[in-house]
Structure 1
Amino acid sequence: MTFNQIVLKMAKVQYKKYIVYYVCNSFAVMFFFMFLSVYFNDQVVQAKKLEGIQEVLTVPVVALVVFTVFFINYAHTIFIKRRKSEFGLFMTLGMSGRDISKLLLLENGVIALASIISGILSGTIFSRLFFLLLMKSVGLEDIPFHLNAKMFMYSIGIFLAVFSIVVGKSLFLTLNRNLLQSLKSDRVRETIKLRSPLFGAVGLAMMVGSALMLYFTFSEITGGLLLLWTIAILLGLYISLNQFMSFFIEIAKKNKPFYFKRLLSLSSLDYKFKQLTSILMLVTVMIMVTIFYSSLVLTFYQSSEKQAIDNNPYDLAFVQTETKNNLPLDEIYSVIDKKEHPVKEHLMIPTFTYYQYNPNTDWQYSYVFMSVDDFNQLTSSPKSLQNGEYMYYENSEPEYASENNAYAHGLAFPIGNDDLSLKMKESITEKNINLLSNAYEFIIVSHSEFELLKRNLEGFESTIQLFNVANWKETTDAVEELEERLHRYNQSNPPIEDIRTELTSEEDLVRVESKIADYNYNKNTNGIMFFVITFLSVSFFFGTFILLYLNLFSDIDREKEKYRKLYKIGITVKEVKRIISKELITLFFIPIILGTTLAYTYIVVLATDVGGIMKNPELLVHFGLVAGIYLLIQVGYFLYARRKMVNQLTENNF
């Protein structure tokens, strides 16, 4: 019998190993291709409503690549782990290291090729379904599905790069392992070099302490400090997973009845936690990331309308100057004032912008003046001013008000040979105008001084046009038509070439701000993000479950032998089932408890910037919903894994 015949016969007997390994790799290619069908869809990128969507999807892409690296690496590690004794047998029969290398390369080459073909084919089929569901969920059915070369190149390229590195590493380790180690590999447990209860306590304290520091310092935190606390949390998590059972056993020993009743379970869990630390760490982090981002994006998606209303006090707004956006009023009304959405309110707020150079700071200060009479049209609390007084008005929500008011110490402006000195009477922060260019800070003065400043200062007059209609959700076509007409009018006039465009672009100066545009943008962008995060969550969930499942069942023969020996010294089937259940409950649910807790910590920390978690109950509700769904699915997988493990360990074993 030749070597090739021996290899083929062993492959036929152990075909399940190859099938599981192939399915894992095919799974990775398929999910990566499905995601890239959205990321590299030119129609999505070019859609006006989704400008910048590729930047938004960059973080999920990176997360998917990192997950793919871990997933393929662990799938390959488990596959090779089951083959080590076979390689030792081949070597005793005379197969050289070069022959082993050829065998490894041939096997992995065939599996990689088959995985790419099946992964791309299944990805092409399911990506169309995924894309259509995604576009329909965010109201963009007009964007067609198509495939391009980038989707195929990146999917195949990233998979082959990761796969080659992983295979190269295992090839190096296999060839440097001696014959005795290979033959005994399936009868030797992995060496646990460190058992330190003190390290377990330190890891737990590091994780909890870093989370508390993140919460208490978040308001003053910088990007580097946020990264530092996150790294500290993850490091503490890894140490805890690796050494906490040793710490718990040390504590349990102080209660002798408790410890001796659970001695077998505790010892087994201590070994398995140290053996599976990397897997449990990956599962925990993936759970944390998916629950955190799913809760956050779901909240953003559900609050798209609220965001549009908060950002746009008026249904439609734009700035009108002498040469830009200066359409006749009757033409503007012909577009906006329709039967579906008649105009309910229309305000015209004159403003005057003056730029003053300050040689001390080498900066042009921009002053946007508004008459107190016009300001009173915007606010529900009318104000009055005397000559020589002004109010500083910041068009923003109070919680986002700037702390440093550069205009608080009085103002002076050259009027002829004298200066007009103004003293600040009051500072007001409230959102009354859509966020247009030069509509963030205003100097409110009396009507007479507003006219005086316009006559004596060289500046720019403009009018803020504000409209409210009966049904703003029906104004999509009207807003687009108005934007088109304004654009044609602006193109027919010479461009702005003065200090205004030195500080901002002309496009920004003349843009239209509307509730419906903001709403559509938020809904579409957040909708895509929510759908993508849901897709990634499902991918991560299946992937991490498969990895945990494969690791648990890769040593099933050893577990059978262990329980067979325990049976000989008196253990019963009922006790075996109880031990298995306790172990699996711990291994399946410790990661979800830790991941959910860490996700909640980051949500609470993030909520401190918007008034705290109790002032944002929708965030808490969505967190509970996502975590609850995740837990229910995990319970289902736990019941499946427990039933299968109990059957395999007790069937024909006792």
Structure 2
Amino acid sequence: MTFFSIVKKNFKYNLNKFISYFFVNALVIGMLFMYGSLLFNSVVNKELKGTSLIETLNIALMALIIFAIVFITYTNISFLKNRDKEFGMYLTLGMTRKDLIKIVIFENLSVMILALLVGTLGGAIFGRLFYMALSKILDYINIPYELNIESFVLSAGVFILIFIGNMIFNIIYMNRVSIMSNLKASRNKEVGKSNLMIGSISLILFIIALLLLPQTLLRKLFNGNSVIIGILVFMTIVLPYFIIGSIITVFNKVIQKYTKFYNNEILILSNLSHRFKNYKNILYMLSILIAGAIYFSGTTYAMYSTSKELIDKDNPFDVAFVEKDGFNEVEESELKTLLNKKNIGIKNYSTLEFLEYALFKEENGKYMYYSDSTQIISESNYNRHMKENIDVEKGAGIYISVYNEKIITEDFGVILAALSREELDELSYSMEEYLSKEELESIIGREKLYSIEKEKLKEVRGVNFTNIIYNTNVSSGKAIIVDDDEYESLKKANIKSGNMHLLNIKNEKEIGNILDDYLLKKNNIKKEDWNNGKQILSFEEEVIRGYKPIYKQELIEDSIKYNGMMFFTTIFIGLLFIFANGIVLYYKVLSEIDEERERVKLLRRIGIENKKLRKIISKEMAITFYVPIIIGGGIACYYIYVLFSNHYIVGVVMKNVFEVLIAAIIIQTIICLVSRKKYLKEVLK
């Protein structure tokens, strides 16, 4: 028998194993190719050049490459170990280790070439669907489908490097094989250990940590102590490892009280007890893998799907711009006339006057520097703007915020300081530590300070009085309302004041160019100063750009573009992780086929028929395959809930996350069914 005839027969005998091994390699190549075509797409690079999204895409590429290395390497190792008995047989028939190395190299080279061709072709074909999905997500960017040489180089280069590394490992591995160890490979049963007490304690502590963490984050417990938070997070991530190894043992102890059910399922429970001990490490790692995939995919999907809602909530006005320091000085009547001539359709136009004060926030009787530009609004200006009728007492204040958070904060007092930027810079050395009121008075001067005691400062959230804007010139979204007389006193002492111009309009698409041109002319500056495309600006350039109007529609488009790209990237990698989870379990259960055949023989001897055996094995596999998705998916959903529990959109977010989880369960189900079919065919034949 010639070398090639042996290889041919070997291929034929192990066809199913080679197909699954080939599929994994081709899948990774196809994914690398499609992602490379996106990363090197000319439109993507043009639209996102210089933004943080490019960095995100590059980080995702590194994660994808690491995943490819780990996944293909694991598959290669599993593929070799599943053939230990076969290699031992070849050695008994007189083949040398060099002959085995030649067979393995030839097989892997054949699979590599075929996978490279099919994976690249598949990536090119399915890449069009890939871009269609991306275009559907990114409503405001049209990304054409492009085939570029860089994506070929990326996918082929990474795969060839992985192949070379695996070949080196394979040669080392084959040089260490022995006849006896390989022939006994199927009998080497790994025995795991479990401890009922450790498992029970771990489960109790895990539940306690889950209950305490959100309450601590919301400062309802332990005053939001960061050390306690770190301990609780550590517990929720680590304790599942001990729970997985002992959960069946704990379950057995509980279920033994229900004799009929326990007796009916005793075969399944006893085998699962061994399997969970044996699989403890891999089930835990896969659970964390799934948790990461669903957490990042679910979070970015939620951010993407709620982009418009979030922007609407944080920006109750369609257009906002600040008038300050001689910029954007406009007459409301003049601007209204211009916009009405252009058929913009003004629904509401309001000008809100404010003062800017540096703010020191109280904590435990001392004050910490909080902001250099907190807005101060008079009660009459606020009432006119919001059509309300509030009355603020002298010496008191109302701290209002557009944000509507659930987090509980203790009552606090504030000290307002009328300071220029130069004075703030000079005081920077003392702003990183808590100071008493007397220390602030001695450093800044009593005449420049205005304090509101915590008993007289009321905090109100979810007030839609302005848009949230943060740039070099303005920090809006939070403000303190004070009595009119005290506002006038503050106005005399203050050196920084301005107006927020806030508009709601009907024709959002047309206003941008009209208003920009009008204000550019008023400010006597060039259009490039607002639209030069530069990401890194000098301080002076940042100041000038900060006076550009903020359009809610632009914010929505930018948010959808950014969150859409983030979502598409994470869901792409998340799906790979979910596929990897299923395929790792597929190889793990197939590695125990010989052992399972022995168990089946024993069960047949005591009269159990194939129909019953199929039912037992199917239940065992289903439980094994769904454990990572249940534990990992549960942890991911929990952490996403905790992340957004402080936010009013938590209900919408969780709905989106459950959609991602359902998709993951469907994929896991498909892989489980394929694995079960293969497993039953091999075990019951």
TM-score class normalised by the smaller sequence: 0.7 to 0.9
Give 1:465's aligned residue. 501
Give 1:301's aligned residue. 304
Could you tell me how far 1:311 is from its partner in structure 2?
1.1
Contact kept? 1:199, 1:239, Cα under 8 Å: yes
Give 2:640's aligned residue. 603
Amino acid at match of 2:217: F
**Aligned mate of 2:607, from 570, 585, 601:** 570
- Please tell me whether residue 347 in structure 1 is matched to residue 350 in structure 2: yes
**Aligned mate of 1:616, from 641, 647, 650:** 650
CA distance in 1, matches of 2:294, 2:359: 51
Root-mean-square deviation over aligned CA pairs: 4.5
- Please tell me whether residue 313 in structure 1 is matched to residue 320 in structure 2: no
**Aligned mate of 2:248, from 239, 245, 257:** 245
Q: Using a 3 Å threshold, how does the CA distance of structure 1 residues 588 and 516 change in structure 2: closer, same or farther? A: same
Residues 292-441 of structure 1: matches in 2 within 5 Å? 292-321=295-324, 323-326=326-329, 336-337=339-340, 341-353=344-356, 365-366=372-373, 368=375, 370-383=377-390, 391=397, 393-397=399-403, 399=405, 408-409=414-415, 419=447, 424=452, 427=458, 429=460, 430-436=463-469, 437-440=474-477
Could you tell me how far 1:380 is from its partner in structure 2?
3.6
Could you tell me how far 1:119 is from its partner in structure 2?
1.9
Contact kept? 1:304, 1:519, Cα under 8 Å: yes
Give 1:478's aligned residue. 511
Give 2:628's aligned residue. 591
Contact kept? 2:320, 2:500, Cα under 8 Å: yes
Amino acid at match of 2:191: I
Q: Using a 3 Å threshold, how does the CA distance of structure 1 residues 23 and 609 change in structure 2: closer, same or farther? A: same
Q: Using a 3 Å threshold, how does the CA distance of structure 1 residues 312 and 340 change in structure 2: closer, same or farther? A: same
Q: Using a 3 Å threshold, how does the CA distance of structure 1 residues 452 and 573 change in structure 2: closer, same or farther? A: closer
User: Could you list the per-position Cα deviations for residues 380-411 of structure 1 after superposition, in whole angstroms to 9, with x for gaps in the alignment?
Assistant: 4334579x767465443353899699973577
Gaps of at least 5 residues in structure 2 are 361-366, 421-444, 531-537
Residues matched between the structures, number: 634
Could you tell me how far 1:200 is from its partner in structure 2?
3.8
Residues 22-421 of structure 1: matches in 2 within 5 Å? 22-47=22-47, 51-55=51-55, 64-65=64-65, 67-148=67-148, 151-185=151-185, 187-205=186-204, 207-219=206-218, 229-249=232-252, 261-321=264-324, 323-326=326-329, 336-337=339-340, 341-353=344-356, 365-366=372-373, 368=375, 370-383=377-390, 391=397, 393-397=399-403, 399=405, 408-409=414-415, 419=447
SS at the partner of 2:322? strand
Amino acid at match of 1:188: R
Q: Give the stretch that moved more between structures: 461-470 or 240-249.
A: 240-249
CA distance in 2, matches of 1:565, 1:3: 39
**Aligned mate of 2:566, from 505, 529, 543:** 529
Q: Using a 3 Å threshold, how does the CA distance of structure 1 residues 483 and 154 change in structure 2: closer, same or farther? A: farther
CA distance in 2, matches of 1:184, 1:616: 55
Contact kept? 1:323, 1:490, Cα under 8 Å: no
Could you tell me how far 1:80 is from its partner in structure 2?
0.5
Amino acid at match of 1:432: F
CA distance in 1, matches of 2:407, 2:244: 44
User: Could you list the per-position Cα deviations for residues 417-456 of structure 1 after superposition, in whole angstroms to 9, with x for gaps in the alignment?
Assistant: 99588665755643411123143555656777767766x6
User: Could you list the per-position Cα deviations for residues 454-513 of structure 1 after superposition, in whole angstroms to 9, with x for gaps in the alignment?
Assistant: 6x668355332211113xxx51342255446646756349999xxxx9799315531322
Amino acid at match of 1:616: V
Q: Using a 3 Å threshold, how does the CA distance of structure 1 residues 381 and 189 change in structure 2: closer, same or farther? A: same
CA distance in 2, matches of 1:402, 1:202: 31
CA distance in 2, matches of 1:385, 1:214: 38
User: Could you list the per-position Cα deviations for residues 42-69 of structure 1 after superposition, in whole angstroms to 9, with x for gaps in the alignment?
Assistant: 5335427994323555775566455434
Amino acid at match of 1:468: N
Q: Using a 3 Å threshold, how does the CA distance of structure 1 residues 113 and 97 change in structure 2: closer, same or farther? A: same
Q: Using a 3 Å threshold, how does the CA distance of structure 1 residues 16 and 335 change in structure 2: closer, same or farther? A: farther
Q: Using a 3 Å threshold, how does the CA distance of structure 1 residues 147 and 335 change in structure 2: closer, same or farther? A: farther
- Please tell me whether residue 11 in structure 1 is matched to residue 17 in structure 2: no
SS at the partner of 1:399? coil
CA distance in 2, matches of 1:401, 1:412: 30
Contact kept? 1:76, 1:167, Cα under 8 Å: no
Contact kept? 2:192, 2:278, Cα under 8 Å: no
Could you tell me how far 1:346 is from its partner in structure 2?
1.6
Contact kept? 1:294, 1:626, Cα under 8 Å: yes
Contact kept? 2:357, 2:416, Cα under 8 Å: no
Q: Using a 3 Å threshold, how does the CA distance of structure 1 residues 580 and 484 change in structure 2: closer, same or farther? A: farther
Give 2:619's aligned residue. 582
User: Could you list the per-position Cα deviations for residues 345-403 of structure 1 after superposition, in whole angstroms to 9, with x for gaps in the alignment?
Assistant: 2223344557799xx999995465555443332234334579x7674654433538996
Contact kept? 2:138, 2:560, Cα under 8 Å: yes
Q: Using a 3 Å threshold, how does the CA distance of structure 1 residues 622 and 168 change in structure 2: closer, same or farther? A: same
CA distance in 2, matches of 1:69, 1:78: 14
CA distance in 2, matches of 1:161, 1:464: 58
Q: Using a 3 Å threshold, how does the CA distance of structure 1 residues 89 and 524 change in structure 2: closer, same or farther? A: same
CA distance in 1, matches of 2:414, 2:165: 62
Q: Using a 3 Å threshold, how does the CA distance of structure 1 residues 54 and 367 change in structure 2: closer, same or farther? A: closer
Could you tell me how far 1:587 is from its partner in structure 2?
1.8
CA distance in 2, matches of 1:370, 1:254: 69
CA distance in 2, matches of 1:112, 1:396: 57
Q: Give the stretch that moved more between structures: 117-126 or 151-160.
A: 151-160
Amino acid at match of 1:375: Y
Amino acid at match of 1:319: V
Contact kept? 1:200, 1:244, Cα under 8 Å: yes
Q: Using a 3 Å threshold, how does the CA distance of structure 1 residues 623 and 182 change in structure 2: closer, same or farther? A: same
Identity of aligned pairs, percent? 25
